[in-house]
Chains A and B, each alone.
Chain A
């Protein structure tokens, strides 16, 4: 199921049976099969040969599948990474339009050979350096390939590139992340970053950190988050879904705006809050998001039931 619901996107190492065999039971919306930094050089080739069967393992619970390849080995990786069932290829450390375009061309060829509708696998440029952040607009417009959402411009590599600490009590990635988000918005993609939640401890396995992160993202209107540890999955999925209160409020706003429009007015008040075309648009988005979440959750439940039956 290829939809835009990616409340929790988690890395999985295909070479480790403990992770890859259990991933589908964890309830994530998306799993990234990694051939890059979590795989040792000596294991890369074995990892490549495991990708195809890992797709079928990791999506058993209804998750979508991304594959992260190695920038220096795109030619070696892509024939093992482009398969039906893969929604997105992630190209690490993207810095130029030329390298993005080259990967696009290789994917296009493989899509045609393997019965995938050309251009449908998303190619996500991971922005992990200042050069990539500055070139982001050219990168994103260099290939005719759809990309629903885009974020980035932070992380370990960016910290090294900037010569700064990765974990700080202030947002040291403010400029590169915002530049990436603005380019994404200018190109009608959903921007997925730019919400700073302090985490000076640097720990990535604590559920309360995930809850805080989800609530900050949710308030800011971002519904997309990454995870390195399974403890993050449930708080993120829950915290980034539309709430019952939001849905009820959205219905009220839309009804109020409809009657305003009938009366020939453009601005009104509802329970002490302004109702106008902006609030009406926002309410409609809330309902669309709620419907998307419900569809994804129902799909995951059905997939999970089928997988458990097959297992028993």
Chain B
């Protein structure tokens, strides 16, 4: 599986502390593997997850797999420190609120690249938007670091508490997706997101609803999205396939 930056459809989340999941992650053929230090890692497993990260990244990279690390907003500094190592493609920052936060993270990555012998400026930054402040400041945030290569719509139904509306969508969801798409295209970043429906929330969505969410997002202009389970990878790859 060779990384093709113009064709990263499925970004599969793998809990960084789970060695089994990491070993099997290529089986479902995701375009990108995302080692997660955030939400899917229980608090008690965080330290071990950070410590094992460099080895896990190298192993995946040796297998020609494009590997990113999703960092936890609350502990992003320590998480980014643990993640920057040879073989990593980039960092996923979920929930930025301001350009300053992104610039600061970019600087931290620069320092770590120097320390770890990673080609300067090589590490990409993917921003997954999850807050109203972030969406309001979107264009400034996306331009806060030259490392930013993709702009995505995160779990806004949960983080922004967007309940369902009678049109079978989440309140404000389409508006926020459009906002992300416009800014991403304007700045030539990859737009990431899927049009999840209230009855098929991302984390537990079955095959059919995942395929539908991906297909509708492609029609809106998105080119990939995050997969919470290995079963979502195939429908996402099909949904985002260029026809």
Provide the residues of chain A in CB contact with B8, threshold 8 Å: none
Majority secondary structure, A binding face: helix
Confirm or deny: B164 has a beta carbon within 8 angstroms of a beta carbon on chain A. yes
Provide the residues of chain A in CB contact with B161, threshold 8 Å: 221, 281-282, 285
With known contacts A182-B172, A182-B175, A185-B132, A221–B162 Cβ distance under 8 A: yes
Whether A220 and B176, one on each chain, are in contact in the complex, defined by CB atoms closer than 8 angstroms, is no
B20 to chain A, nearest CB (A): 17
Whether A196 and B167, one on each chain, are in contact in the complex, defined by CB atoms closer than 8 angstroms, is yes
What is the number of contacts between chain A and chain B, taking CB atoms within 8 Å? 75
Confirm or deny: B146 has a beta carbon within 8 angstroms of a beta carbon on chain A. no
With known contacts A175-B175, A274-B203, A186–B163 Cβ distance under 8 A: no
- Scan residues 257-305 of chain A and give those whose CB is less than 8 A from a CB of chain B: 264-267, 274, 276, 278, 281-282, 285
Whether B43 and A278, one on each chain, are in contact in the complex, defined by CB atoms closer than 8 angstroms, is no
Closest to B166 in A: A216
Confirm or deny: A63 has a beta carbon within 8 angstroms of a beta carbon on chain B. no
Closest to B46 in A: A266
- The answer for the CA separation of A182 and B158 in the assembled complex, in Å, is 15
Question: What 1/0 mask marks residues of chain A from 16 to 36 whose CB sits below 8 Å from any chain B CB?
Answer: 000000000000000000000
- The answer for the CA separation of A186 and B159 in the assembled complex, in Å, is 13
Q: How large is the interface on B (under 10, 10 to 19, 20 to 34, 35 or more residues)?
A: 20 to 34
Whether B164 and A219, one on each chain, are in contact in the complex, defined by CB atoms closer than 8 angstroms, is yes
Whether A220 and B164, one on each chain, are in contact in the complex, defined by CB atoms closer than 8 angstroms, is yes
Whether B171 and A220, one on each chain, are in contact in the complex, defined by CB atoms closer than 8 angstroms, is yes
Give the size of the chain A interface in residues (CB under 8 angstroms): 31
Closest to B170 in A: A220
Binds A, one of B34-42, B76-84, B208-216: B34-42
Question: What 1/0 mask marks residues of chain A from 182 to 204 whose CB sits below 8 Å from any chain B CB?
Answer: 11011000000011111000000
Q: Of the candidates A175, A183, A221, A282, which one forms a contact with B171 in the assembled complex, judged by CB atoms under 8 Å apart?
A: A221
Q: Of the candidates A182, A265, A274, which one forms a contact with B136 in the assembled complex, judged by CB atoms under 8 Å apart?
A: A182
* Chain A residues within 8 Å of B, Cβ to Cβ: 137, 171, 174-175, 178-179, 181-183, 185-186, 194-198, 216, 219-222, 264-267, 274, 276, 278, 281-282, 285
20 A–B contacts, CB within 8 A, in A order = A174-B175, A175-B175, A178-B172, A182-B136, A183-B136, A186-B136, A194-B171, A196-B165, A198-B166, A216-B165, A219-B163, A219-B165, A220-B171, A221-B171, A264-B43, A264-B45, A266-B41, A266-B42, A267-B40, A278-B158
* Chain B residues within 8 Å of A, Cβ to Cβ: 39-45, 132-133, 135-137, 155, 158-167, 171-172, 174-176, 179, 201, 203-204
